[in-house]
């Protein structure tokens, strides 16, 4: 798996365009959409779209490379951030694309995965996606700020609490965190 900065940059713009009218779209939701696009592509194709390194954060998985790329995009005028007030009264930041993404960097299957993830989580808030991501084995067994291996996504996110405890024990007993 090779990390592609251009693909991460363009996927950010692609998702921002796709989510332009979604009132639930903000920084946290963008981070989770990137995660789910890469993980779904990895499961289906054996390769993620961007190859970003996803780390365990309090809000759920986030690409280690995301903040520096986002900040660069803001500085270069490729994107802007605007304040958005959510129905619960919380004010967050929404990334707005200021140019079209270069879709030529992606093949049809990669764009299909991205579109399916956008459709699957349409109307979901960043908080709801964070809660969902916290139920996944990869996030559960990783230490805070440590990478979440792509192949951990193969483990059932809908496992029962008892199944999760068994899986966490096996991972701990065999010192598999970060290996999978």
pLDDT in tens, 132-174: 999 888 888 889 999 999 888 766 555 566 666 776 676 666 6
Residue 139: per-residue pLDDT? 87
At residue 179, the pLDDT reads 46
User: Regarding predicted confidence, which is higher, 180 or 46?
Assistant: 46
The more confidently predicted of residues 86 and 46 is 46
Residues of the chain with CATH 1.10.10: 5-124
Nearest to 114, CA basis, from 51, 56, 179, 34: 34
- Could you give the percent of the chain with pLDDT greater than 70? 85
- Above 60 in pLDDT, residue 46? yes
DSSP for residue 103: G
Q: How far apart are CA 54 and CA 114, in angstroms?
A: 17
Q: Give CATH for domain 5-124.
A: 1.10.10
Please state the rounded mean pLDDT for residues 57-85: 95
Q: What is the mean pLDDT of the chain?
A: 89
Which pTM value belongs to this model?
0.85
Report d(CA 94, CA 85) in Å as an integer: 10
Q: Which of 5, 6, 58, 52 is nearest to 33 (CA)?
A: 52
Range with lowest mean pLDDT among 40-49, 86-95, 166-175 = 166-175
More confident residue, 174 or 118: 118
């Amino acid at each position: 798996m090779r990390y592609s900065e251009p693909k991460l940059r363009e996927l950010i713009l692609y998702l921002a365009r796709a989510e332009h009218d979604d009132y639930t779209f903000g920084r946290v939701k963008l981070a989770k959409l990137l995660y789910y696009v890469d993980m779904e592509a990895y499961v289906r194709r054996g390769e993620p779209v961007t190859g970003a390194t996803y780390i365990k954060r309090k809000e759920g998985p986030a690409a280690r490379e995301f903040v520096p790329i986002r900040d660069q995009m803001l500085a270069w005028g490729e994107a802007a951030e605007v304040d958005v007030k959510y129905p619960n009264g919380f004010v967050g930041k929404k990334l707005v694309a200021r140019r079209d993404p270069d879709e030529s960097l992606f093949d049809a299957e990669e764009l299909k995965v991205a579109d399916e993830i956008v459709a699957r989580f349409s109307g979901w808030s960043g908080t709801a996606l964070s809660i969902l991501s916290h139920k996944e084995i990869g996030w559960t067994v990783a230490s805070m700020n440590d990478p979440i291996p792509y192949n951990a996504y193969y483990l059932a996110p809908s496992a029962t609490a008892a199944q999760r405890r068994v899986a966490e024990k096996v991972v701990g007993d065999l010192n598999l965190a970060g290996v999978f």
